[in-house]
Every structure is written in structure tokens, then in C-alpha cells.
Structure 1
Amino acid sequence: MSVHVAIVYYSSTGTVHKLARAAAEGAEKAGAEVRLRKVAETAPPQAVDARPEWGRHLRDTADVAEAGHEDLEWADAVLFGTPTRFGNPAGQLRAFIDTTGPLWFGGKLADKVYSAFTSSNTAHGGQESTLLALANTFYHWGGIIVPPGYTDPVQFRSGNPYGTSCVAADGPPDEVALQAARYQARRVVDTAGFLKAGRAA
């Protein structure tokens, strides 16, 4: 019985995109059917144009499909990825989440597995508070939150039991961060698989 996993993320310059791709690899290796989806860019063109790497990343990921409500309905588990914005998820991701009221009201977001990952520009730039802020949404949805915890040796190297995170100012995610994202996704798939099999029994 295949587990359906949606990886829904926002990335302005590519850091979270790389974590999302690693999470997709981990989920696929665990046997899941995966949809990698970005949320729409809502920043004004002048803001994007002010940072060449931002515009470049938009062009480089033009082929990644945008997230829709059908992806959340389809999924048994959802991993959300976002950069940190003042200790909170990026506005672009929040804008997408804020459109899901009809799904929530219809009970279509309940009893799914949820997890999250992030990046910040500095080591203490709000990574944990961003992940905890996303968890507040999962509580309202009636979701089952699955963090990585300290359940694998890589977590003692990555240092974040709340969800995979990295420091964008240090450059692209290193192999430890990518391993942590793959592991987190595998843990999500395993848990969602147990739940799906239990419901079918």
C-alpha cells in the first residue's frame, strides 16, 4: 500500500528548494509516491529584481508545479518547507495555507501526518520558532505531527529535533542537512504507512 506524500515549500533563493528535493528523495526511497510542489511567488517584481539570486531561482524552478488544494487532499502526509521570516513561516507559504479553510472545514486535512523543515540566515535566526509556528496550524487541522526528534545519528549532527534546518548564509545545505531531510521524510513515510495500514485493517 503506497503512501502519498506531498512536499509543499517556498524558497526564494534555493536553500529550502534543495532541502525539499532531498526530502523527496528520502520519501521516494522509502517507497512513497511523491508530489514536489512549490507555492506561488507573491513578492512584487521590484523585490525579486533587487536580488539577482532570487530571480535566477524563480527561472531555474519554473518547471516545478505549484501547490493546489488537490495535493493536500491526495496526500497521506505533507511536509512543509519554508525559510524563516522574523521567526515565522514566509508569507508566501502562509498565503497558501490561509486558502485551505474550505478543506479544513470539510475535515479533509485531519488525520494526516505533518512535518516541516526550514532555513534561516543565521544560526539563531528563528528556525525552531518557525517550525513551532507551523505546528500551530497542524494542531488546528487535527494533524498528526511527526518530528525527526533524536531518533537517528544524523540528528545529533544536525541538531534540530523539531525539523531539518540549516543556515543559508553558510552556503547551500551541506550533506548533513540533506541527510537529515531525507531521514525526516523517511520517518514521515514510515509513520503514515503504519497509520494507513491500520485504517485499512
Structure 2
Amino acid sequence: MSNVRLAIIYYSTYGTNHAMAETAAEAAREAGAEVRLLKVPETAPEGVVNGQDAWRAQAERTASVPEVTHADMEWANAYLFSAPTRYGVSASQLRAFIDTLGPLWAQGKLANKAASAMTSAQNPHGGQETTLIGLYTTMMHWGAIIVAPGYTDPVIYASGGNPYGTTVSAAGAPLSEESKASIRHQARRLVEFAGKIAG
């Protein structure tokens, strides 16, 4: 085991970001990290969720996944966030959780930790890059150390070539092998640098 305690924090309406988070968790564990796979609370009204079969089914499938807490944020020395883009920024459910973190930020408890992010959108130019940059801007306010994948492995090119973080065009299909390879590389790179930062 390494000295890395990684919180993989996701929001997923229909399952894409949940699958991305699970793929990352598997790779991070293989790299030696202690991993907590966590979802952010749903903020949409229950009637809205239940009114869409696919949304309701995803909520039921992941009912046993624990919701992230401030204690998880303190426990971790590395973070990987994954959420869909909405109008060029991350889904409001993730932002709502982030907006509760002021007390931890004010105490410096989010600083000096390795952090990375992934996202999805319905189409290739649906705001993925601005979503990742927006999340990284928040992490810079925390004083976290951003670990983007960059162009550090050929799998980045095979999966669409995004150096900011893995992005998936979500159209209801399972993750491609190229996307999974990119996610695994990003997770392993995050664990590697988180270990160096943690000393």
C-alpha cells in the first residue's frame, strides 16, 4: 500500500460518471491507493428524478454508494472529481457540495492535496474543457495541487486528446476501451504524484 488516501467523488445522472469513477477506483487501488468511492447528494426534487426512468434507475443502482462528507474530505490526501457538464460548468449537484466546503477551506484542510477531474457531455464540444478548468479554478482557491494528465501517454490521443482530464461523449453507450485506458492513466498518475506530495 502507498501513503495515498484517495477520495473519488462523483455525480452521475444516468451512469456515465459513475462508471468513470468506478474505473478510476479500480486503477487507483491497483496502484496502491486506499480509495473511497463517494457520490455527492442529489439535489433535484424526488419527483423530477422519479419522472425519468433512466435517472430513477441510476439512483436505485447506486443507493448503497455512500455520500461524501466533510470527514471524507479531511481524510483524503488526494481527490478525483467526476461529474457531467451542464452549460459548460459542472452539474449543480457537485457545485452544491463544493459550496459547503468553506469551513474546511478556511482552515486550510483542502490545501496541498493532489487533485484531478473528469467529465462528460452529450457531444464532443459540449463544454467539457470549460467544466474541467472551472473545477481546477476552485481547486486553485483551495491550494490543492492540480494533477492533470497532460499529453503524458499515448492513450490521451486515442481517447480524444484532452490534456485537462478524461472527457467522455455520453450518448447512453458503455465507456469505450479508449476512455477506460485514459481514465486508468489519469488515476495512476494522480496516485503517483499524490504519493510524492504526501512524502
TM-score past 0.5 threshold: yes
Work out the CA distance in 2 between the residues paired with 1:141 and 1:109.
Answer: 6
TM-score of the superposed pair, with normalisation by structure 2? 0.97
**What's the counterpart of residue 131 of structure 2?**
130
- For 1:143-154, what aligned pairs fall within 5 Å after superposition? 143-154=144-155
**What's the counterpart of residue 23 of structure 1?**
24
**What's the counterpart of residue 119 of structure 1?**
120
CA-to-partner distance for each residue in 1:108-150, whole Å, 9 max, x for gaps? Answer: 0000011000000111100000000101100100010000111
**What's the counterpart of residue 83 of structure 2?**
82
Work out the CA distance in 2 between the residues paired with 1:17 and 1:171.
Answer: 13
TM-score of the superposed pair, with normalisation by structure 1? 0.96
Give 1:179 deviation, angstroms: 1.3
Whether the aligned pair in 1 keeps the contact of 2:3 and 2:198 (CA below 8 Å) is no
Name the amino acid aligned to 2:168.
Answer: C
1:195 and 2:197 correspond: yes
1:176 to 175, 178, 199: 178
Number of residue pairs aligned between Structure 1 and Structure 2: 197
* Structure 1 unaligned regions, length at least 5: none
Moved over 4 A (4+): none
- For 1:2-151, what aligned pairs fall within 5 Å after superposition? 2-151=3-152
Give 1:170 deviation, angstroms: 5.7
CA-to-partner distance for each residue in 1:55-79, whole Å, 9 max, x for gaps? Answer: 0000000110000011111111100
Work out the CA distance in 1 between the residues paired with 2:169 and 2:51.
Answer: 21
* Structure 2 unaligned regions, length at least 5: none
Partner SS for 2:131: helix
Work out the CA distance in 1 between the residues paired with 2:155 and 2:91.
Answer: 26
Give 1:168 deviation, angstroms: 0.7
Partner SS for 1:78: strand
Seq. identity, %: 55
CA-to-partner distance for each residue in 1:81-131, whole Å, 9 max, x for gaps? Answer: 100000001000000000000000000000001100000011110000000
Whether the aligned pair in 2 keeps the contact of 1:79 and 1:116 (CA below 8 Å) is yes
